Structure 1
Amino acid sequence: MAASLDSGRSGRGRAKWKPKAEINVTPFVDVMLVLLIVFMITAPLLTVGVPVDLPRTEARNLPAGEEPLTISITLDGEIYLQETVVTLAELAPRLTAIAGTGYTSRIYIRADDGAPYGDVARVMARVNAAGFTNLGLVTDPIER
Protein backbone atom coordinates (compact mmCIF):
# COMPACT_ATOMS: atom_id res chain seq x y z
CA MET A 1 0.00 0.00 0.00
CA ALA A 2 1.36 3.37 -0.92
CA ALA A 3 0.73 6.70 0.75
CA SER A 4 1.27 10.16 -0.58
CA LEU A 5 1.02 13.50 1.08
CA ASP A 6 -1.48 16.05 -0.16
CA SER A 7 -0.69 19.68 0.38
CA GLY A 8 -3.91 21.45 1.04
CA ARG A 9 -4.16 25.01 2.26
CA SER A 10 -6.12 25.89 5.29
CA GLY A 11 -7.81 29.23 5.73
CA ARG A 12 -4.79 30.85 7.47
CA GLY A 13 -2.26 30.06 4.74
CA ARG A 14 -0.50 27.26 6.54
CA ALA A 15 0.07 24.04 4.66
CA LYS A 16 -1.71 21.07 6.14
CA TRP A 17 -0.41 17.66 5.13
CA LYS A 18 -2.97 14.90 4.76
CA PRO A 19 -1.99 11.31 3.97
CA LYS A 20 -3.76 9.84 0.94
CA ALA A 21 -4.04 6.06 0.80
CA GLU A 22 -3.85 4.45 -2.65
CA ILE A 23 -3.74 0.76 -3.56
CA ASN A 24 -1.33 -0.22 -6.29
CA VAL A 25 -3.24 -2.84 -8.31
CA THR A 26 -0.52 -3.52 -10.89
CA PRO A 27 0.98 -6.52 -9.01
CA PHE A 28 -2.49 -8.00 -8.53
CA VAL A 29 -3.24 -7.71 -12.25
CA ASP A 30 0.10 -9.33 -13.09
CA VAL A 31 -0.59 -12.27 -10.78
CA MET A 32 -4.10 -12.73 -12.16
CA LEU A 33 -2.84 -12.75 -15.76
CA VAL A 34 -0.21 -15.36 -14.91
CA LEU A 35 -2.83 -17.53 -13.19
CA LEU A 36 -5.16 -17.17 -16.16
CA ILE A 37 -2.45 -18.34 -18.55
CA VAL A 38 -1.50 -21.26 -16.31
CA PHE A 39 -5.10 -22.45 -16.04
CA MET A 40 -5.69 -22.04 -19.78
CA ILE A 41 -2.72 -24.30 -20.49
CA THR A 42 -3.33 -26.92 -17.81
CA ALA A 43 -7.13 -27.30 -18.02
CA PRO A 44 -7.19 -29.26 -21.31
CA LEU A 45 -4.45 -31.55 -20.03
CA LEU A 46 -6.50 -32.61 -17.00
CA THR A 47 -9.29 -34.36 -18.93
CA VAL A 48 -7.17 -36.98 -20.70
CA GLY A 49 -6.35 -39.89 -18.39
CA VAL A 50 -6.20 -43.09 -20.45
CA PRO A 51 -4.00 -43.08 -23.56
CA VAL A 52 -6.30 -43.94 -26.47
CA ASP A 53 -5.62 -43.41 -30.19
CA LEU A 54 -8.93 -41.80 -31.15
CA PRO A 55 -10.23 -41.98 -34.72
CA ARG A 56 -10.04 -38.77 -36.74
CA THR A 57 -13.26 -37.24 -38.08
CA GLU A 58 -14.55 -33.92 -39.36
CA ALA A 59 -16.72 -33.35 -36.28
CA ARG A 60 -16.50 -30.04 -34.42
CA ASN A 61 -15.23 -29.73 -30.86
CA LEU A 62 -17.81 -29.68 -28.08
CA PRO A 63 -18.00 -26.68 -25.76
CA ALA A 64 -16.00 -27.06 -22.56
CA GLY A 65 -17.94 -27.40 -19.36
CA GLU A 66 -17.73 -29.45 -16.23
CA GLU A 67 -15.51 -32.53 -16.16
CA PRO A 68 -17.30 -35.17 -18.23
CA LEU A 69 -17.94 -38.75 -17.20
CA THR A 70 -15.89 -40.84 -19.67
CA ILE A 71 -15.59 -44.51 -20.52
CA SER A 72 -12.43 -45.46 -22.42
CA ILE A 73 -11.86 -48.64 -24.44
CA THR A 74 -8.25 -49.47 -25.27
CA LEU A 75 -6.88 -51.40 -28.24
CA ASP A 76 -6.63 -54.62 -26.21
CA GLY A 77 -10.24 -54.34 -24.96
CA GLU A 78 -9.67 -52.96 -21.45
CA ILE A 79 -12.50 -50.74 -20.21
CA TYR A 80 -11.77 -47.69 -18.06
CA LEU A 81 -14.37 -45.70 -16.15
CA GLN A 82 -12.64 -42.34 -15.79
CA GLU A 83 -9.15 -43.71 -14.97
CA THR A 84 -10.15 -46.96 -13.22
CA VAL A 85 -10.07 -50.33 -14.98
CA VAL A 86 -13.47 -52.09 -14.82
CA THR A 87 -14.95 -55.21 -16.36
CA LEU A 88 -18.03 -55.15 -18.54
CA ALA A 89 -20.06 -56.68 -15.70
CA GLU A 90 -18.89 -53.99 -13.22
CA LEU A 91 -19.57 -51.09 -15.57
CA ALA A 92 -23.30 -50.55 -14.94
CA PRO A 93 -23.13 -50.78 -11.11
CA ARG A 94 -20.17 -48.41 -11.01
CA LEU A 95 -21.92 -45.90 -13.26
CA THR A 96 -24.99 -46.05 -11.06
CA ALA A 97 -22.84 -45.57 -7.95
CA ILE A 98 -21.06 -42.55 -9.46
CA ALA A 99 -23.96 -40.89 -11.22
CA GLY A 100 -26.88 -41.99 -9.09
CA THR A 101 -30.35 -41.77 -10.50
CA GLY A 102 -31.47 -39.04 -12.83
CA TYR A 103 -28.10 -38.44 -14.44
CA THR A 104 -28.85 -36.32 -17.50
CA SER A 105 -25.38 -35.18 -18.54
CA ARG A 106 -23.76 -36.86 -21.48
CA ILE A 107 -21.46 -39.85 -20.89
CA TYR A 108 -18.55 -39.84 -23.32
CA ILE A 109 -17.14 -43.04 -24.79
CA ARG A 110 -13.53 -42.86 -25.98
CA ALA A 111 -12.57 -45.92 -28.04
CA ASP A 112 -9.20 -46.60 -29.61
CA ASP A 113 -9.20 -46.42 -33.41
CA GLY A 114 -8.25 -50.11 -33.62
CA ALA A 115 -10.60 -51.35 -30.90
CA PRO A 116 -13.04 -54.02 -32.14
CA TYR A 117 -16.46 -52.66 -33.01
CA GLY A 118 -18.04 -55.44 -30.95
CA ASP A 119 -16.31 -54.18 -27.77
CA VAL A 120 -17.60 -50.66 -28.34
CA ALA A 121 -21.12 -51.92 -29.11
CA ARG A 122 -21.18 -54.10 -25.96
CA VAL A 123 -20.10 -51.17 -23.77
CA MET A 124 -22.71 -48.89 -25.32
CA ALA A 125 -25.42 -51.53 -24.87
CA ARG A 126 -24.47 -52.12 -21.23
CA VAL A 127 -24.52 -48.37 -20.46
CA ASN A 128 -27.86 -47.95 -22.27
CA ALA A 129 -29.36 -50.94 -20.45
CA ALA A 130 -28.35 -49.34 -17.13
CA GLY A 131 -30.60 -46.38 -17.98
CA PHE A 132 -28.06 -43.89 -19.31
CA THR A 133 -29.30 -42.81 -22.73
CA ASN A 134 -27.31 -39.63 -23.36
CA LEU A 135 -24.11 -41.07 -24.88
CA GLY A 136 -21.47 -39.46 -27.04
CA LEU A 137 -18.51 -40.84 -28.98
CA VAL A 138 -15.25 -38.90 -28.73
CA THR A 139 -13.03 -38.42 -31.81
CA ASP A 140 -10.08 -36.27 -32.77
CA PRO A 141 -10.60 -33.57 -35.40
CA ILE A 142 -8.83 -33.88 -38.75
CA GLU A 143 -6.07 -31.29 -39.02
CA ARG A 144 -6.22 -29.31 -42.23
Structure 2
Amino acid sequence: MAFGRLSSRPSDAPMSDINVTPLVDVMLVLLVIFILTAPLMTSAIRLDLPQSAAAQAGGSPQAIVLVVDAQGRWFLNDQAVTEIALREQLSQAARSNPLTELELRADAAVPYGRVVEAMGLAQKAGLSRIGFVAEVVSP
Protein backbone atom coordinates (compact mmCIF):
# COMPACT_ATOMS: atom_id res chain seq x y z
CA MET A 1 0.00 0.00 0.00
CA ALA A 2 1.54 3.24 -1.11
CA PHE A 3 0.68 6.83 -0.46
CA GLY A 4 -2.13 8.23 -2.52
CA ARG A 5 -3.33 4.90 -3.70
CA LEU A 6 -6.54 3.25 -2.67
CA SER A 7 -6.52 -0.37 -1.95
CA SER A 8 -7.59 -2.50 -4.82
CA ARG A 9 -9.03 -5.10 -2.51
CA PRO A 10 -12.80 -5.54 -2.86
CA SER A 11 -14.79 -3.94 -0.06
CA ASP A 12 -16.42 -6.00 2.61
CA ALA A 13 -20.07 -7.01 2.21
CA PRO A 14 -22.56 -5.10 4.34
CA MET A 15 -23.14 -6.58 7.80
CA SER A 16 -26.59 -8.16 8.03
CA ASP A 17 -26.55 -8.94 11.80
CA ILE A 18 -28.52 -6.81 14.20
CA ASN A 19 -26.50 -5.13 16.89
CA VAL A 20 -28.33 -6.06 20.12
CA THR A 21 -26.04 -4.23 22.52
CA PRO A 22 -28.11 -1.00 22.52
CA LEU A 23 -31.29 -3.07 22.97
CA VAL A 24 -29.80 -4.87 25.98
CA ASP A 25 -28.69 -1.55 27.47
CA VAL A 26 -32.19 -0.09 27.16
CA MET A 27 -33.79 -3.23 28.64
CA LEU A 28 -31.42 -3.16 31.63
CA VAL A 29 -32.20 0.49 32.29
CA LEU A 30 -35.95 -0.27 32.16
CA LEU A 31 -35.47 -3.21 34.49
CA VAL A 32 -33.68 -1.01 37.03
CA ILE A 33 -36.44 1.60 36.77
CA PHE A 34 -39.14 -1.02 37.39
CA ILE A 35 -37.23 -2.52 40.30
CA LEU A 36 -36.92 0.88 41.94
CA THR A 37 -40.52 1.97 41.36
CA ALA A 38 -42.33 -1.30 42.18
CA PRO A 39 -42.19 -0.80 45.98
CA LEU A 40 -43.49 2.73 45.56
CA MET A 41 -46.57 1.52 43.68
CA THR A 42 -47.99 -0.33 46.68
CA SER A 43 -50.78 1.30 48.59
CA ALA A 44 -49.46 4.01 50.85
CA ILE A 45 -52.74 4.55 52.70
CA ARG A 46 -52.28 4.06 56.41
CA LEU A 47 -55.32 2.91 58.34
CA ASP A 48 -56.00 2.67 62.02
CA LEU A 49 -58.42 -0.24 61.98
CA PRO A 50 -60.97 -0.60 64.76
CA GLN A 51 -60.60 -3.46 67.19
CA SER A 52 -63.22 -6.02 68.09
CA ALA A 53 -63.61 -8.49 70.90
CA ALA A 54 -65.45 -10.93 68.63
CA ALA A 55 -64.02 -14.29 67.67
CA GLN A 56 -61.57 -14.49 64.82
CA ALA A 57 -63.14 -14.67 61.40
CA GLY A 58 -63.05 -18.15 59.95
CA GLY A 59 -62.29 -19.90 63.21
CA SER A 60 -60.30 -23.07 63.11
CA PRO A 61 -62.22 -25.98 61.70
CA GLN A 62 -63.27 -28.56 64.21
CA ALA A 63 -64.03 -32.22 63.70
CA ILE A 64 -66.69 -34.53 65.01
CA VAL A 65 -66.45 -38.29 64.79
CA LEU A 66 -69.30 -40.48 63.58
CA VAL A 67 -68.78 -44.20 64.07
CA VAL A 68 -70.93 -46.86 62.39
CA ASP A 69 -70.34 -50.23 64.06
CA ALA A 70 -70.80 -53.70 62.57
CA GLN A 71 -74.46 -53.80 63.67
CA GLY A 72 -75.17 -50.49 61.93
CA ARG A 73 -75.54 -48.39 65.11
CA TRP A 74 -74.38 -44.78 65.15
CA PHE A 75 -72.02 -43.27 67.72
CA LEU A 76 -71.37 -39.54 67.63
CA ASN A 77 -68.22 -38.62 69.55
CA ASP A 78 -68.29 -42.04 71.27
CA GLN A 79 -71.91 -41.72 72.43
CA ALA A 80 -74.72 -43.83 70.98
CA VAL A 81 -77.32 -41.72 69.15
CA THR A 82 -80.58 -42.37 67.33
CA GLU A 83 -81.22 -41.09 63.82
CA ILE A 84 -83.32 -38.16 65.10
CA ALA A 85 -80.69 -37.15 67.67
CA LEU A 86 -77.96 -37.54 65.05
CA ARG A 87 -79.77 -35.18 62.67
CA GLU A 88 -80.21 -32.60 65.40
CA GLN A 89 -76.61 -32.75 66.61
CA LEU A 90 -75.21 -32.58 63.07
CA SER A 91 -77.43 -29.57 62.32
CA GLN A 92 -76.31 -27.89 65.52
CA ALA A 93 -72.65 -28.50 64.64
CA ALA A 94 -73.19 -27.07 61.15
CA ARG A 95 -74.90 -23.97 62.54
CA SER A 96 -72.14 -23.31 65.06
CA ASN A 97 -69.31 -23.75 62.53
CA PRO A 98 -69.99 -24.52 58.86
CA LEU A 99 -66.39 -25.67 58.42
CA THR A 100 -66.87 -28.56 60.83
CA GLU A 101 -65.49 -31.78 59.39
CA LEU A 102 -67.25 -35.08 59.91
CA GLU A 103 -64.83 -37.97 60.39
CA LEU A 104 -66.71 -41.08 59.32
CA ARG A 105 -65.42 -44.35 60.77
CA ALA A 106 -67.35 -47.32 59.45
CA ASP A 107 -66.75 -50.97 60.25
CA ALA A 108 -65.72 -53.12 57.28
CA ALA A 109 -68.84 -55.28 57.78
CA VAL A 110 -71.25 -52.33 57.54
CA PRO A 111 -73.41 -52.37 54.39
CA TYR A 112 -72.57 -49.58 51.94
CA GLY A 113 -76.12 -48.25 52.15
CA ARG A 114 -75.72 -47.46 55.85
CA VAL A 115 -72.58 -45.42 55.14
CA VAL A 116 -74.34 -43.52 52.34
CA GLU A 117 -77.25 -42.86 54.69
CA ALA A 118 -74.85 -41.32 57.23
CA MET A 119 -73.30 -39.17 54.50
CA GLY A 120 -76.76 -38.01 53.42
CA LEU A 121 -77.69 -37.04 56.98
CA ALA A 122 -74.50 -34.99 57.25
CA GLN A 123 -75.08 -33.21 53.97
CA LYS A 124 -78.72 -32.44 54.81
CA ALA A 125 -77.54 -31.00 58.12
CA GLY A 126 -75.18 -28.65 56.26
CA LEU A 127 -71.86 -30.41 56.71
CA SER A 128 -70.03 -30.61 53.40
CA ARG A 129 -66.63 -31.72 54.68
CA ILE A 130 -66.62 -35.47 55.24
CA GLY A 131 -63.48 -37.47 55.86
CA PHE A 132 -63.28 -41.26 55.77
CA VAL A 133 -61.01 -42.84 58.35
CA ALA A 134 -59.26 -46.14 57.62
CA GLU A 135 -56.38 -48.11 59.05
CA VAL A 136 -53.04 -48.21 57.32
CA VAL A 137 -52.00 -51.69 56.21
CA SER A 138 -48.37 -52.40 56.96
CA PRO A 139 -46.43 -54.30 54.27
70-79 vs 102-111, which moves further: 102-111
Could you say if the C-alpha distance between residues 98 and 66 of structure 1 is closer, same or farther in structure 2, counting changes exceeding 3 Å?
A: closer
Distance 1:102 1:67 in 2: 8
Among 133, 139, 143, which residue is 2:128 paired with?
A: 133
| 1:112 counterpart letter in structure 2 | D
Separation (CA, whole Å) in 2 of partners of 1:137 and 1:79 = 15
CA 1:122 to 1:86, structure 2 compared with 1: closer, same or farther past 3 Å?
same
Q: Pick from 76, 82, 99 the counterpart of residue 104 of structure 1.
A: 99
Which SS does the other structure have where 1:140 is aligned?
Answer: coil
Q: Which runs of 5+ in 2 are unaligned?
A: 1-59
Tell me, yes or no, if the aligned pair for 1:110 and 1:138 is still in contact at 8 Å. Answer: yes
CA–CA distance in structure 1, aligned partners of residues 123 and 94 of structure 2: 14
Q: Could you tell me how far 1:66 is from its partner in structure 2?
A: 8.3
TM-score, normalised by the number of residues in structure 1: 0.50
- Aligned pairs, number: 80
Secondary structure of 2:71's aligned partner: coil
2:62–2:99 contact (8 Å) kept in structure 1: no
Q: CA deviation at 1:67?
A: 7.0
Partners of 1:75 and 1:112 within 8 A in 2:
yes
Give the % identical residues: 24
Counterpart code for 1:128: Q
| Superposition deviation, residue 139 in structure 1 | 0.4
Do the aligned residues in 2 keep the contact of 1:73 with 1:111 (CA within 8 Å)?
A: yes
Instruction: State the match for 2:72 in structure 1.
Output: 77
In the alignment, structure 1 segments of 5+ residues that lack a partner are 1-64
Q: Which has the higher strand share?
A: 1
Q: In structure 2, the residue corresponding to 1:128 is in which secondary structure?
A: helix
Counterparts of 1:80 and 1:100 in 2: how far apart (Å)?
Answer: 20
Which protein is bigger by CA-based radius of gyration?
A: 2
- The CA distance in 2 between the partners of 1:93 and 1:130, in whole Å, is 8
Q: Provide TM-score, normalisation by structure 2.
A: 0.52
Deviates more, 1:98-107 or 1:88-97: 98-107
- Determine the C-alpha separation between the residues in 1 that align with 2:136 and 2:96: 33
Instruction: Name the structure, 1 or 2, with higher relative contact order (CA <8 Å, separation 6+).
Output: 1
Match for 1:116 among 88, 111, 121? 111
CA RMSD across the alignment:
2.1
